[in-house]
Amino acid sequence: MKPLIVAIVCLLTAACVPYAQQPDLPSITRTALPDLPPEWRVAQDALGDVEVGWIARLEDTQLEALVREAQANNRNLLAAKSAVERSFALARQARSSLFPALNYSAAAVEGGRLADSSADSYSAGLSLSWELDVWGRVRATRNAAVYSAESAHADYVFSQYSLAAAVAKSYFLVIESELQEEVSRKSLDALRETVRIVRSQRELGAADAYDEHLATANLASGEANLIQVQGGKRLARRALEVLLGRYPHDRLATRLDLPELPALPKTGLPSELLERRPDLIAAELAIASAFSDLGAAKAARLPTLSLSGSLDYGAQRASELLDTDNGTWSLASALLGPLFDAGLRRAQVEAADANQRRAIADYAQTALTAFQEVADSLDQNEVLDRRVAALTNAAIAQNRAFDLARLRYEEGETNLLDVLTVQSNTLAADSNLVAARRQQLDEWINLNLALGGSWDTL
């Protein structure tokens, strides 16, 4: 009974688990960061709770369907999901070490000399083994695995958000390429009309070969530009199809205009970002896992106490196998402690301590990057809003200038080079406006992603 008494004493002692305590994460993470401002200085009028469902706010049913398709079929996301499932399986594996391991055995043997009758034997038994977690090493290992799995899950959630943003931006790029093709075709039609006018005027003696060659060269450049735009459109479509998990056939059809830009989302407070963004939550959980790893490494330097027992039956007849007279039992406890390991365990503690400090530094850098992303995106949304307004005015004025330049050329009041220069500027103005409108939507998506708002309304 002595081993049993020892085990009971150890179980009572194990109530004090010095290396399995959960770290005070809020105090650790806040200490690692600089002082946070009470609000975003570039968004004084956008305070309020961060909203979810930013994809739905674009009011584009095709985009919503594409995002859900990508969430279900994107191979990178599926791989990340499998990695999360593996992490939780490893956590359950680590948890199993907290409990006794119970095994059974059974055997039947027939044998004897060739001239005599056979001698049979039967045996059955149960065996139990259990490492008593006196110092909390097993619990610390379990905690580290659980925190690591939860961190992987938070990273997976952020991957879902990032994938939704990537699909939306790729979708906008495909639409922009359609609009850029339309701009190029419009410019090409104008260039063809210019060539027709020049040839007509040459027949009348109002233009020479120089004008005709100049107009023809610009027409060829316009055709080359259209070919390049069409190639970019095919690349954009294939990129989106791969994000969706489809074969890149270049067969995806989208709407032909960019969706309306919603109002800027509410930003919340900088301090709330730490509790909302999944990648920051993952980094915080990585700190907790590192603390638990350090606790396990420290506890590994202390002795381990294990308990084992067995119950065995043996008989020459199967019917007599479970007779109590044929049974034996044993119960044992064992103490095992490190005596000399050439500094192995000390090095493991030092490595775990360094990993803990690295996790804290990684968290701080991730948080600072997140704050920068929000501040930059708020700033760029304002910049792009003003830029789109200016480019809209520029495109309107440039198109009017081109109409006037062509009319003046037909009337002989200006030369062809001036007309072609104005036309080139008109093409650039129209193209820049389309690109800026797409960039505006991209930056709106970036802001929602930076704020940690979910793309899904569910």
> What domains lie within the chain, and their CATH numbers?
2-302+309-451 (1.20.1600.10)
Report helix, strand or coil for 110. strand
Burial 48-83 (b: 16+ CB within 10 A, else e): eebbbebbbbbebeebbebbbebbeebeebeebbee
Averaged over 294-313, what is the pLDDT?
92
- What's the pLDDT at 435? 97
**Is the pLDDT higher at 197 or at 2?**
197
Please list the alpha-helical segments (H only) found in 114-208. 137-203
Strands across the sheet with 327-336, in order?
Answer: 101-111, 119-132, 304-315, 327-336
Of the candidate ranges 5-9, 83-87, 322-326, the one whose mean pLDDT is the lowest: 5-9
Averaged over 429-446, what is the pLDDT?
97
- What's the pLDDT at 458? 56
Averaged over 152-171, what is the pLDDT?
96
Averaged over 379-405, what is the pLDDT?
95
DSSP strands (E only) in 385-452: none
- What's the pLDDT at 44? 53
pLDDT of 9 over the 70 cut: no
Report helix, strand or coil for 411. coil
pLDDT tens readout for residues 227-251: 999 999 999 999 999 999 999 999 9
CA distances in angstroms from 311 to 3, 77, 123, 437, listed in the order given: 15, 50, 11, 78
Report helix, strand or coil for 23. coil
Instruction: For residue 353, give the nearest of 287, 406, 290, 311 by alpha carbon.
Output: 290
Instruction: For residue 128, give the nearest of 397, 385, 311 by alpha carbon.
Output: 311
Grade residue 47 by pLDDT with cuts at 50, 70 and 90: low
Which helix (H) or strand (E) segment holds residue 80: the answer is helix 75-96
**Over the Cα atoms of the chain, what is R_g?**
37
What CA–CA distance (Å, rounded) separates 50 from 449?
11
Instruction: For residue 268, give the nearest of 374, 367, 364, 376 by alpha carbon.
Output: 374
pLDDT of 8 over the 60 cut: no
Q: Are 416 and 409 in contact (CB under 8 A)?
A: yes
Q: Are 140 and 152 in contact (CB under 8 A)?
A: no
pLDDT of 201 over the 60 cut: yes
CA distances in angstroms from 144 to 5, 94, 112, 287, 289, listed in the order given: 31, 9, 55, 10, 4
Query: Rounded mean pLDDT of the chain?
Result: 89
- What's the pLDDT at 14? 47
Which helix (H) or strand (E) segment holds residue 9: the answer is helix 2-13
Q: Is the dihedral of CA 271, 276, 279, 280 positive or negative?
A: positive
Which helix (H) or strand (E) segment holds residue 103: the answer is strand 101-111
CA distances in angstroms from 8 to 131, 135, 309, 336, 383, listed in the order given: 13, 15, 14, 18, 70
- What's the pLDDT at 25? 82
Residue 15 per-residue DSSP state: T
User: CB atoms < 10 A from the CB of 184, how many?
Assistant: 22
Averaged over 127-145, what is the pLDDT?
92
Phi, psi of 120 (to 5 degrees): -100, 155
- What's the pLDDT at 12? 47
Q: Are 3 and 307 in contact (CB under 8 A)?
A: yes
Tokens of 246: 């489809």
CA distances in angstroms from 278 to 71, 158, 168, 283, listed in the order given: 17, 5, 19, 9
pLDDT of 457 over the 80 cut: no
What CA–CA distance (Å, rounded) separates 428 from 279?
40
User: CB atoms < 10 A from the CB of 230, how many?
Assistant: 14
The torsion defined by the Cα of 292, 298, 303 and 306, in degrees rounded to 10, comes to 10
- What's the pLDDT at 112? 64
Q: Is the dihedral of CA 155, 159, 161, 165 positive or negative?
A: positive
User: CB atoms < 10 A from the CB of 108, how many?
Assistant: 11
- What's the pLDDT at 119? 67
- What's the pLDDT at 319? 75
Highest mean pLDDT among 18-27, 176-185, 194-203: 176-185
What CA–CA distance (Å, rounded) separates 318 from 314?
9
Q: What percent of the chain has pLDDT over 90?
A: 67
pLDDT tens readout for residues 55-113: 999 999 999 999 999 999 999 999 999 999 999 999 999 999 989 999 999 988 877 66
Grade residue 1 by pLDDT with cuts at 50, 70 and 90: low
Instruction: For residue 241, give the nearest of 178, 173, 156, 157 by alpha carbon.
Output: 173
pLDDT of 328 over the 60 cut: yes
Q: Find the angle CA(102)-CA(104)-CA(105) to the nearest 5 degrees.
A: 150
pLDDT tens readout for residues 351-376: 999 999 999 999 999 999 999 999 99
pLDDT of 163 over the 70 cut: yes
Q: Is the dihedral of CA 334, 337, 339, 345 positive or negative?
A: positive
